[in-house]
Amino acid sequence: MTGLVGSADVIVIGGGGMGSAAAAEISRRGRSVILLDRFPPPHDRGSSHGESRLIRLAYFEHPDYVPLLHEAYRLWRRLEADAGRALLTESGLVLCGPPDGEAVRGTLHAAAVHGLEVECLDAATGMARHPGLRLPADWVVVHEPRGGWLRVEDCVRAGLDIAVRYGARLETPVTVRGWSPAGSAFVVDTDRGRYAAERLVIAAGPWAGPLIDLPALPLVVLRKGLFWFQPAVEHRGALAAGAFPCFAFDTPAGFYYGFPAIEGGAVKVAEHSGGTVVTDPLTVDRGIDAGELARVTGILAVHLPAASGPVVAAATCLYTMSPDGHFILGLHPRHPGVALAAGFSGHGFKFASVVGAILADLALGGATDLPIGFLSPERFGG
């Protein structure tokens, strides 16, 4: 092809959690990669930022995710070893809520199906074990010792570093305008010119919808606020990482989650439910939403008052929601040379390491041995 500004075996669109992992894995396998991103990653414009992300094995969303999580943990540890830095901390996680709630029931079900280590405590025992929690008497506390957090920006940096180490080219800032098949290859049109590759990976986060271009698969982007609270001095030691686990509250007012104070910082808390629809990820309001902050502050006041304090930082995260809240992971129904990773619906980052391996399998071999059938884009028809 003539008039190209670059070509490779595989082009990866998007340099966040999924794209960085895919570029690293494809490069490891000896294939040439060009990664394109609108902003130099890691950046705070999408969904792969904000200090930390939860990771857990007993997955209440669906037990079929658990085999993928086992592989994700293994690959995060491999990335840690390759990068020479800590990325995953298994601090433990406590899920607090009514025993008949979706989160508790789903967690216990996934644990039973896959033989995972969890402990279900009554509210009084949970509060005694984890001073600071304040829970209704009829709630339970499910403790998962292997739960914890990932250092989100460091994970993205590590993936990018590995990709570059194995020869990948990072092209940023580059705005992708579209792509099209060109014989047995693909051409990506950008504001820098055209790039070509034998295979294409689309992992563009909140920009994925128009690039995927599947009418049967509408993706909705939601705006979410992340907040860091500075506890009073007398509570900081008890809420520090190593002393207090990650936590989640499944309440009638919504689902909230948070992290202990990492490395002397503040306690991060956010609402997983709710969200404001975003029409353009480039123009989203990144200021503090007063209503959202009030809800998060109210949950802390009721269930973890020791963490209440001034808000010392805030950030905006974007959830790209699929119609059923589960991932879109597989080959494009009309273009089998295009691998798709989208619609992670606010719970996907923990899978980034294994998604990278899956995307490499799909892009280079057209299939994967990992169990992703339940995430196929073809489940929506069209």
Is this prediction's pTM over 0.95? Answer: yes
Would the CA dihedral through 270, 275, 279, 283 be positive or negative? Answer: negative
Q: Where are the domains of the chain?
A: 4-48+153-215+324-380, 89-150+220-321
Sheet of 52-55: strand order equals 52-55, 148-151, 88-89
21, 201 in Cβ contact below 8 A? Answer: no
**Residue 382: pLDDT above 80?**
no
What is the share, in percent, of the chain residues with pLDDT greater than 70? 99
Superfamily classification of domain 89-150+220-321: D-Amino Acid Oxidase, subunit A, domain 2 (3.30.9.10)
- Identify the pLDDT of residue 88: 98
> Cα–Cα distance between 210 and 175 in angstroms, integer?
13
> Cα–Cα distance between 55 and 58 in angstroms, integer?
10
CATH number of 4-48+153-215+324-380: 3.50.50.60
Distances in Å between the Cα of 176 and the Cα atoms of 37, 113, 187, 255, 359 are 8, 43, 11, 35, 19
**Residue 2: pLDDT above 80?**
no
Residue-wise pLDDT for 55-82, tens only, equals 999 999 999 999 999 999 999 999 999 9
> Cα–Cα distance between 135 and 120 in angstroms, integer?
14
Residue-wise pLDDT for 179-232, tens only, equals 999 999 999 999 999 999 999 999 999 999 999 999 999 999 999 999 999 999
Residue 262 pLDDT class (50, 70, 90 cuts): very high
Q: Which residue has the tokens 């980052």?
A: 349
- Identify the pLDDT of residue 264: 80
What is the mean pLDDT of the segment spanning 244-259? 97
Q: Given the DSSP bridges, would you call strands 140-144 and 93-97 parallel, antiparallel or unpaired?
A: antiparallel
375, 326 in Cβ contact below 8 A? Answer: yes
What is the mean pLDDT of the segment spanning 353-367? 98
